[in-house]
Structure 1
Amino acid sequence: MHVRIAVADPLPVFRRGVMAILRDAGYEIDAPDDLLAWIRDEQTKAVVITVRSDADWQLLEALHRATADLVLLVLLDQVSVADSVRALRAGAVCVMTRDITPSDLSEAFDAAVRGQSRVPVEVLRALMDPVPPPPVDQPSPRERDWLRALAQGTTVARLAVAAGYSERMMFRILRDLYTRLGADNRTEALIKAQERGWL
Structure 2
Amino acid sequence: MTVTPLRLLIADDHTVVRAGLRALLEGEPDFTVVAEVGSGDEAVRIAVGLRPDVVLMDLRFGNAEHGIDGVEAVRMLTAELPGTAVVMLTSYSGHADVVRALQAGARGYVLKAGLPEELFRAVREAATGGIGLASEVVGHLVGRVVTPPLELSEREKEVIRLMADGHSNRSIAQSLFLSEATVKTHLVRVYRKLGVDNRAAAVSEAVRRGLLELT
Q: Give TM-score scaled by structure 1 length.
A: 0.56
Deviation at 1:122, TM superposition (A): 5.2
| Alignment match of 2:18 (pick from 15, 28, 34) | 15
Corresponding position of 2:177: none
Corresponding position of 1:106: 120
State which drifts further: 12-21 or 112-121: 112-121
Cα RMSD, aligned residues only: 3.3
Q: Secondary structure at the match of 1:92?
A: coil
| Mapped contact 1:46–1:71 kept (Cα < 8 A) | yes
Corresponding position of 1:168: none
| Mapped contact 2:12–2:37 kept (Cα < 8 A) | no
| Alignment match of 2:36 (pick from 31, 34, 52) | 31
Name structure 1 gaps, 5 residues minimum.
128-134, 137-199
| Mapped contact 1:76–1:96 kept (Cα < 8 A) | yes
| Mapped contact 1:21–1:106 kept (Cα < 8 A) | no
List aligned pairs for 1:91-102, cutoff 5 A: 91-102=105-116
Deviation digits for residues 9-37 of structure 1 (CA, Å, limit 9, x no counterpart): 11111111111111111212021462223
Corresponding position of 2:91: 77
Deviation at 1:42, TM superposition (A): 7.5
| Mapped contact 1:48–1:75 kept (Cα < 8 A) | yes
In structure 2, the CA distance between the partners of 1:28 and 1:88, relative to structure 1 (3 Å rule), is same
Corresponding position of 2:48: 40
In structure 2, the CA distance between the partners of 1:25 and 1:122, relative to structure 1 (3 Å rule), is same
* Moved >4 Å (runs of 4+): 41-44, 124-127
Question: For 1:72 and 1:115, how far apart are their aligned partners in 2?
Answer: 11
Supply the AA of the counterpart residue of 1:51.
Answer: L
List aligned pairs for 1:50-199, cutoff 5 A: 50-53=58-61, 55-56=68-69, 57-119=71-133, 120=138, 123=141
Q: Secondary structure at the match of 2:25?
A: helix
Structure with higher Rg: it is 1
In structure 2, the CA distance between the partners of 1:103 and 1:2, relative to structure 1 (3 Å rule), is closer
Identity of aligned residues (%): 21
Supply the AA of the counterpart residue of 1:89.
Answer: Q
Deviation at 1:58, TM superposition (A): 2.1
Deviation at 1:46, TM superposition (A): 0.9
Supply the AA of the counterpart residue of 2:6.
Answer: V
Supply the AA of the counterpart residue of 1:97.
Answer: L
State which drifts further: 15-24 or 36-45: 36-45
The number of aligned residues is 134
Question: For 2:56 and 2:97, how far apart are their aligned partners in 1?
Answer: 16
Supply the AA of the counterpart residue of 1:31.
Answer: E
Q: Give TM-score scaled by structure 2 length.
A: 0.52
